[in-house]
Amino acid sequence: MAHLVQEIALAAGTISPAGGGILVLLATLCSWHLLRKFWKLRDIPGPFWAKLTDLYRAGIVKTGRSHEIFQAYHQKHGALLRLGPNMVSVADPAEIPVIYPMRPGFPKGEFYDAFIPYIKGGSAPPAIFTARDEELHKRIKSPVAPLYSLSNAVKSEPFIDEVLDVLFDQLDARFEKSQATFDLADWLQFFAFDVMGTMTFSRRYGFLETGRDVQGILATIWNFMLTVGPMTQVPWLDKLLHKNAVMASFRKASGNVIFQIAADNVARRKAEANDAPRATEGAKTDFLAEFLKIQAENPSIPQWSPLVWTFSNVIAGSDSTAVVMRTTMYNLLAHPSSLARLHRELTDPAITLSRPYPRWAEVANLPYLDACVNEAVRLHPPFCLPLERVVPTGGVTICGRFFEQGTVVGMNPYVVNRHRATFGDDADDWRPERWLEGDEERRRRMEAAIMTFGAGRRTCLGKHVALLEIKKIVTALVLNYEFKLVDPKAYVVENSYFFRQRGIMVQIKRHERS
C-alpha cells in the first residue's frame, strides 16, 4: 500500500522523491497501526465495518434503535461482540463482577468525556458520574455518598408528598373533570424533575404548575443527549467537533444549559440569605444545603464540588427516574391483569395504606409491586449503551478469552437484562410474575444480572432515591385513579444513550373510594 501511495504521488508529479519518502513512511505507519488494532481482536466476531472504525457504531447510535441492533448482533454472534477496532461488548451476566468490580482498577473509558460540557478555557470539572480518574472520583464521591443511603433518602419523603399534592391538583383540574386525553409520559417527567428540584434546591422548576416544558429545559436536555449519544462512541470526533475553543465560539453547547441550572442555584443559595432551604419534619434539608455544609467542613474538597454534585443530581437523577415510572405505568395500563393484581395487593384488607399517598414504610416491601418495578427496571434501562471500561494493566480474561490492557470492554444493560438463560425465553416480554417464581437462588441470580443501575464500584448512587420516588408515585396513581389507555400504539421509544419514551395517552377518573 505504501509503495502504491508513492507511485501515485510521483506519477502525478506532485511531490519530490524526499516528500514521497515521507509519505511512504506515514502510510506505512498508518497501515501498521490499523493492522495492529485490527489484528489484536481479529477472532472476536462483529459487523465488518465496526472492526475498522468507531464511526460505524456511532452511526448505529444515531439511528435511535441501537438497543435492538446491538441485541440482534449479540444473538447472531454470541456473548462477545466486536463493536469497534478496540471495543468489545460483553453479554454474559457472569462477567459483571469481572468488568465492574467493587475495588478500583478497572476505570471508565473516554466514553464519559462526552458528557462533560465544554466551557470557556476548557472542560467543566467532572461530576461523580463522569470522573475517570479514580483518585478524583473517590475524593468527590466519598463525602456525599452517605446522603444517598436509604435511611437518609427516606427523610425526603415529605418533599415527594408535597410534589404529589401539586401533581394531583393539576391532574384533577386539567384532565379529570374534563375527561381530556393527555400524555402521562410528559406528566411523569414533570413530576420527576420537580421532585429532584425540590430535593436538591428546595425549588420546583414549574413544570407541573404550567403543564409545559418551562424555558425548553427538557427539550434542551434531550438535544444534549442526541448529540452526546453518538459522540460517546467516537471521543476524538467529539473533541474535534465540540470540545475546543474554535468550535465553542460558533455554537453554544447544550450541556452548558444544564450546568447553568446547577450553577445558578448554587450561586443564589450562597448569595441570598432568604434562599434558606426548608427542612422536612425529619429535619432533612435539601441536598444543596448538605453539599455546602460538607464543603465548609472539609476545606480539602475542591471548591467546585457543590456545583458538580448539584449537576449530578439534575443530569443523572431526574429523567432516568421518569423513564422507570413511565415503563411501569405504561405496562400496567397495557396489561390490565397486572394492573388488577397490583390494585388487589394495594387494597387488600390485611394491609392498611395511608391516603391519599401511601408512606414508604407501607409500600417498601409489597411482593407484586416489587415484581412490577423490577420488571420495569429490567425491560427499559434509561441508560442504554455499553457502560465502557478500560482493561487494566496485566489484562483480563472475559468469557474464557484474554484481553490485553487498554482494550475497551462494556456491557449493555438492554442486552444483559434480556439474557435468555437467566430470565427465560420470554425475556423480551412484560411478565412481573417471573420475579415471584422459583426459589430464592433463582431470584438472586436475576437480581445480580440486572445492569440498569450499573454495577460494582461505579454503581448508581441515587438508586434508593429513585426507587423511593417510583414506588411512591406508582402506588399513589393506582390507588387514586382509574386509567383508560386511549391509544396504546402512540407509545414510542427512542435511544441516544438516554433511552426515553413518549405517548402514554390516557383518560383518568378518580377511583370511587378515593
Q: Which is nearer to ligand HEM, 34 or 136 (CB)?
A: 136
Residues 118-137 within binding reach of ligand HEM (CB under 6 A) = 128-129
Given a contact cutoff of 8 angstroms between Cβ atoms, the answer to whether 108 and 132 are in contact is: yes
Residue 461 touching ligand HEM (CB under 6 A): yes
Q: Which is nearer to ligand HEM, 242 or 471 (CB)?
A: 471
Considering only residues 141, 419, 471, 500, which one is a binding residue for ligand HEM as defined by CB under 6 A?
Answer: 141
Print the binding letters for residues 319-358 with ligand HEM: x by CB under 6 A, - otherwise: -xx--x----------------------------------
Q: Give the CA distances from residue 110 to residues 81, 125, 211, 408, 503, in Å, rounded to whole numbers and listed in that order.
A: 19, 15, 38, 9, 34
Q: CB of 327: closest distance to ligand HEM in angstroms?
A: 10
Q: Which stretch binds ligand HEM (CB under 6 A): 46-54, 419-427, 460-468, 502-510?
A: 460-468
Sheet holding 408-411, edge to edge: 80-84, 87-90, 408-411, 387-390
Q: Give the CA distances from residue 203 to residues 166, 177, 196, 209, 304, in Å, rounded to whole numbers and listed in that order.
A: 13, 29, 9, 12, 21
CA quadruple 60, 64, 66, 71: dihedral positive or negative? Answer: negative
The annotation status of 399 as a binding-site residue, yes or no, is: no
Q: What share of the chain is helix, strand, coil (3-state, %, to 5)?
A: 55, 10, 35
Residue 233 touching ligand HEM (CB under 6 A): no
Q: Which stretch binds ligand HEM (CB under 6 A): 23-31, 313-321, 329-337, 425-433?
A: 313-321
Q: CB of 200: closest distance to ligand HEM in angstroms?
A: 8
Q: CB of 461: closest distance to ligand HEM in angstroms?
A: 4
Q: CB of 170: closest distance to ligand HEM in angstroms?
A: 22
Residue 500 touching ligand HEM (CB under 6 A): no
Residue 316 touching ligand HEM (CB under 6 A): yes
Given a contact cutoff of 8 angstroms between Cβ atoms, the answer to whether 436 and 367 are in contact is: yes
Residues 425-454 within binding reach of ligand HEM (CB under 6 A) = 452-454
Q: Which is nearer to ligand HEM, 201 or 453 (CB)?
A: 453
Q: CB of 274: closest distance to ligand HEM in angstroms?
A: 26
Pairing of strands 498-502, 396-398: unpaired
Q: CB of 174: closest distance to ligand HEM in angstroms?
A: 26
Q: CB of 147: closest distance to ligand HEM in angstroms?
A: 9
Instruction: Compute the distance between CA of residue 300 and CA of residue 164 in angstroms, rounded to an integer.
Output: 39
Residue 468 touching ligand HEM (CB under 6 A): no
Non-local (6+) Cβ contacts of 177 within 8 A are none
108 DSSP 8-state letter: B
**By C-alpha distance, which of 226, 183, 186 is closest to 208?**
186
Q: Which is nearer to ligand HEM, 465 or 504 (CB)?
A: 465
**By C-alpha distance, which of 112, 126, 120 is closest to 248?**
120
Q: Which is nearer to ligand HEM, 474 or 508 (CB)?
A: 474
Give the H or E element holding residue 394.
none
Residue 462 touching ligand HEM (CB under 6 A): yes
How many residues form the binding site for ligand HEM (CB under 6 A)?
22
Q: CB of 75: closest distance to ligand HEM in angstroms?
A: 23
Considering only residues 458, 471, 472, 500, which one is a binding residue for ligand HEM as defined by CB under 6 A?
Answer: 458
Residue 388: strand pairing partners: 410
Instruction: Compute the distance between CA of residue 43 and CA of residue 48 in angstroms, rounded to an integer.
Output: 12
Q: Which is nearer to ligand HEM, 85 or 317 (CB)?
A: 317
Non-local (6+) Cβ contacts of 347 within 8 A are 479
Considering only residues 310, 313, 338, 501, which one is a binding residue for ligand HEM as defined by CB under 6 A?
Answer: 313
In the chain, count H helices and then E strands: 24, 13
Count Cβ atoms below 10 Å from residue 385 Cβ, excluding itself: 28
Q: Which stretch binds ligand HEM (CB under 6 A): 65-73, 75-83, 169-177, 456-464?
A: 456-464
Instruction: Compute the distance between CA of residue 202 and CA of residue 407 in angstroms, rounded to an integer.
Output: 44
Q: CB of 470: closest distance to ligand HEM in angstroms?
A: 7
User: Which amino acid does the sequence have at 209?
Assistant: E
Q: By three-state DSSP, how is residue 37 classified? A: helix
Q: CB of 382: closest distance to ligand HEM in angstroms?
A: 5
Residue 308 touching ligand HEM (CB under 6 A): no
Residue 373 touching ligand HEM (CB under 6 A): no
Count Cβ atoms below 10 Å from residue 249 Cβ, excluding itself: 8
Instruction: Compute the distance between CA of residue 438 and CA of residue 123 in angstroms, rounded to an integer.
Output: 50
Residues 374-393 within binding reach of ligand HEM (CB under 6 A) = 382-383, 387
Count Cβ atoms below 10 Å from residue 145 Cβ, excluding itself: 11
Considering only residues 84, 85, 93, 317, which one is a binding residue for ligand HEM as defined by CB under 6 A?
Answer: 317
Given a contact cutoff of 8 angstroms between Cβ atoms, the answer to whether 454 and 100 are in contact is: yes
- Quote the Cα angle for 489-419-79, to 5°: 120
Instruction: Compute the distance between CA of residue 414 and CA of residue 379 in angstroms, rounded to an integer.
Output: 7
Q: Which is nearer to ligand HEM, 196 or 234 (CB)?
A: 196
Q: CB of 100: closest distance to ligand HEM in angstroms?
A: 7
* Contact residues for ligand HEM, defined by CB under 6 A: 128-129, 141, 312-313, 316-317, 320-321, 324, 382-383, 387, 452-454, 458, 460-462, 465-466
Q: Which residues are annotated as a binding site for heme?
A: 460
Q: Which residues are annotated as a binding site?
A: 460
